[in-house]
Chains A and B, each alone.
Chain A
Amino acid sequence: MSQERIPVWITVVVIPITNVLLAAIAAGFIFWFLNINPLDALRAMVYGAFGSSYGWGYTLYYMTTYIFTGLAVAVAFKCGMFNIGGEGQAYIGALGVGLVCLWLGGKVPFLVLLPISIMAAAVFGALWALIPAWLQAYRGSHIVITTIMFNFIAASLMNYVLINHLKPEGRMSVESAQFHPDAWIPKVHDVLGAMGIQMGYSPLNLSIVFALLVAFAVWVFLWRTRWGYEIRAVGSNPSAAKYGGIHLPKVIILTMLVAGALAGFLALNVVQGEAHQIKLNLVNQMGFTGIAVALMGRNHPFGIVLAALLFGFLTQGGSELQFEYSVDARIVVVLQGLVILFSGALQYMMKHPIEKAYLRLHHRFGRKPGTDKTAEA
């Protein structure tokens, strides 16, 4: 079946939406099985996520996180690599942000501290991606496996650092001290409150502005710079890229450094913006969700922002379900799993039937008869 005869709107709009609908239908069956009316559940989720400024706050807070982790996957994907290490990179990024805030919080003004903590998030996250990147570039070790291993190594490392170095004397739970309030990224409801607009309390903080800027910057980087061109060239055809004079190992390492830095930014939102301390297991699978976000967003920053909003809605709406129906909060995880299954693993299942149906309709009602025949050949 020829690819060019299928218009873009089928590939970019119809097929992804069909996949999400299939996931929603499957989710509906699961809700029905759990004795919950799927339509009521959907209503409760929409209300929980968008029905109040409080709900919006949480939804957008999760969205911010997913933008970072989604971009971290997408940039690597553009270079033909699968970065499963967002989990570990974000965790180590949190260490960077935490150290900066603990050392400089209260000693320097926020506007001096912020660039340093942004740098720290990027550098720590990127460094954690460096070894898998180097191994992929020079030793051919598969990046999927090495990044999985590095997630576990990061968990052990953070466990060690928290217990032996960052945990204040006499505290029971494994977490660092609270940062000085001067180091906190301002909450959106405080900022809006100062401007006279009322908004309920939520963890949403100004990291969201940074996330949107970063998404735009990634678009510029990938599609408007030489480095981005090289990354995309390697991703679409490594041997052609090499023949064209691109040094593959350099591009692989550059890509993974950028991806690691993007994952590290998660810490700005979660640690500096909300928790104000380094906690055990703070990434909590959000790095993995980034994979789903990147898949849904078709590895394009604009798509990723939309997909991050969808997953923010799922996360917040799903946790509201728990109060409404006393269903386990991890029902959200099921929804995420279904979206990954249908729009990732089974993404080609509907592709051929839809394209075939389009060609048939196009042949019957279209302006150019005969397209069908050439397409089928």
Chain B
Amino acid sequence: METFVTIILILDAMLRNATPLIFAAMAGMFSERSGIVNIALEGKILISAFAGAATAFVTGSPWMGLLAGILATIVFAQLHAFATVTHNGDHVVSGLAINILAAGLTAALGNYWFGQGGNTPNLVNRAEELNARFQPITLPLADWANQNIPYLGYIYFELISGHYVLVYLAFAAVPLCWFILFRTRFGLRLRAVGENPQAVDTAGISVTKIRYAALLMCGILVGFSGVYLAVALTAQFSPNMSAGKGYMALAALIFGKWRPRPTLIACLLFGFLQAIADRSQGAEVFGMAVPVQLVEALPYILTVVLLGGFIGRAVAPKAIGKPYVKERE
């Protein structure tokens, strides 16, 4: 029973860790499938976490926080589009600029507004009757099932029920993104722009518009990711709280070969590894002690191995990273 509970708790933590990765990786999918390299996920997560936490604190409502977080990332995603699409700026440089700007702006504005070294105040404050954090959702019959059905009831109670609404939304977002990208006209055009923008242009469709729209979708999705971190998982923004999650989501996207389902599985795998690393001071595999740092680094190592073509092959969209310059005459 004890091992069973441990396993369920690790899987529970996996879902919590995977949620921001799923949102960010799906966001990255829209951008990269349309041909725009997105190393700016990290900064966009940070921006939405800050805007979300600050707004939730001021308005007292987590939903307003979510809205503000999404709006803030949309602004930054459109700035990203302005640099990479309108002005043909280098995608990597633009992404870095956004990451660095986000890291600095959130800390400086946070310190200016709240005077707590860049943190926002805690979103839950009993004395002032403030509770601006998302609350876990208990699914119907969870308590009853836990008490009356062995094992399955506990799985339902601990693993499936009791998460923040954003966790469920993350899992709903994956089929939705798949549908948009692979079953709609917009999705087809978006993927075509990422593979062969000339062809799309010849067909009379604006490459610029599609790429702006792709980054708009990216902004919306990544907004959920940051708000989840600051307004659900922790009840506060702190500087640099994204802590590499944007890059890990990018790794998951590559690991999933830019496709929704494999990307979801990669996010879950990385969330699982993180849960193991958080739980223990290392694991023991076949009698050999594995240091916790190795478990932490494993998502990155696996991605490099995959990129090296040693396990399968990750083929990026063809036109990725190339600014599209319309030929004239």
How far does the alpha carbon of A210 sit from the alpha carbon of B254 in the complex, in Å? 40
The answer to whether B308 and A139 touch across the interface, beta carbons within 8 angstroms, is: yes
Number of CB contacts from chain A to chain B under 8 A? 150
Among A145, A150, A330, A337, the residue within 8 A (CB) of B254 is A145
How far does the alpha carbon of A337 sit from the alpha carbon of B297 in the complex, in Å? 28
The answer to whether B308 and A333 touch across the interface, beta carbons within 8 angstroms, is: no
A288 at the interface (CB under 8 A from B): yes
How far does the alpha carbon of A82 sit from the alpha carbon of B39 in the complex, in Å? 13
B174 at the interface (CB under 8 A from A): no
How far does the alpha carbon of A135 sit from the alpha carbon of B303 in the complex, in Å? 12
The answer to whether B93 and A345 touch across the interface, beta carbons within 8 angstroms, is: yes
B110 to chain A, nearest CB (A): 8
Given contacts A148-B39, A148-B247, A337-B104, contact A135 B304 (CB under 8 A): yes
Across-interface contacts of B110 in A (CB, < 8 A): 328
Among A150, A159, A330, A341, the residue within 8 A (CB) of B293 is A159
Q: Which chain B residues (27-53) contact chain A, with CB distance < 8 Å?
A: 37, 39
B291 at the interface (CB under 8 A from A): yes
B196 at the interface (CB under 8 A from A): no
How far does the alpha carbon of A30 sit from the alpha carbon of B105 in the complex, in Å? 9
Contact with B along A145-156 (1 / 0, CB 8 A): 110111011001
Given contacts A34-B112, A141-B308, A145-B303, contact A156 B296 (CB under 8 A): yes
B311 to chain A, nearest CB (A): 12
Across-interface contacts of A268 in B (CB, < 8 A): none
Across-interface contacts of B89 in A (CB, < 8 A): 344-348
The answer to whether A331 and B108 touch across the interface, beta carbons within 8 angstroms, is: yes
Q: Which of A159, A291, A340 has the most CB of B within 10 A?
A: A340
Across-interface contacts of B309 in A (CB, < 8 A): 139-141
B145 at the interface (CB under 8 A from A): no
The answer to whether B94 and A344 touch across the interface, beta carbons within 8 angstroms, is: yes
Contact with B along A273-303 (1 / 0, CB 8 A): 0000000000001001001100100000000
Across-interface contacts of B97 in A (CB, < 8 A): 337, 340-341, 344-345
How far does the alpha carbon of A142 sit from the alpha carbon of B251 in the complex, in Å? 12
The answer to whether A333 and B90 touch across the interface, beta carbons within 8 angstroms, is: no
How far does the alpha carbon of A148 sit from the alpha carbon of B249 in the complex, in Å? 12
Across-interface contacts of B247 in A (CB, < 8 A): 148-149, 152
Number of interface residues of A (CB under 8 A): 50
A18 at the interface (CB under 8 A from B): no
How far does the alpha carbon of A135 sit from the alpha carbon of B310 in the complex, in Å? 11
A192 at the interface (CB under 8 A from B): no
Contact with A along B51-90 (1 / 0, CB 8 A): 0000000000000000000000000000000111001111
B300 at the interface (CB under 8 A from A): yes
Across-interface contacts of A82 in B (CB, < 8 A): 92
B101 at the interface (CB under 8 A from A): yes
Across-interface contacts of B111 in A (CB, < 8 A): 327-328, 330
The answer to whether B93 and A327 touch across the interface, beta carbons within 8 angstroms, is: no
The answer to whether A330 and B107 touch across the interface, beta carbons within 8 angstroms, is: yes
B28 to chain A, nearest CB (A): 12
Contact with A along B284-305 (1 / 0, CB 8 A): 0000000101101100110110
Between A and B, 8 residue pairs with Cβ closer than 8 Å are: A141-B309, A142-B316, A157-B297, A163-B293, A328-B108, A334-B105, A347-B89, A349-B87
Given contacts A141-B307, A156-B296, 18 further A-B contacts (CB under 8 A): A34-B109, A82-B92, A141-B304, A144-B37, A144-B39, A145-B303, A146-B307, A150-B300, A152-B247, A152-B297, A157-B293, A328-B111, A333-B104, A337-B99, A340-B96, A340-B97, A344-B97, A345-B83
The 5 A-B pairs with the shortest beta carbon distances in the complex, nearest first, are: A333-B104, A337-B101, A334-B104, A156-B297, A328-B111
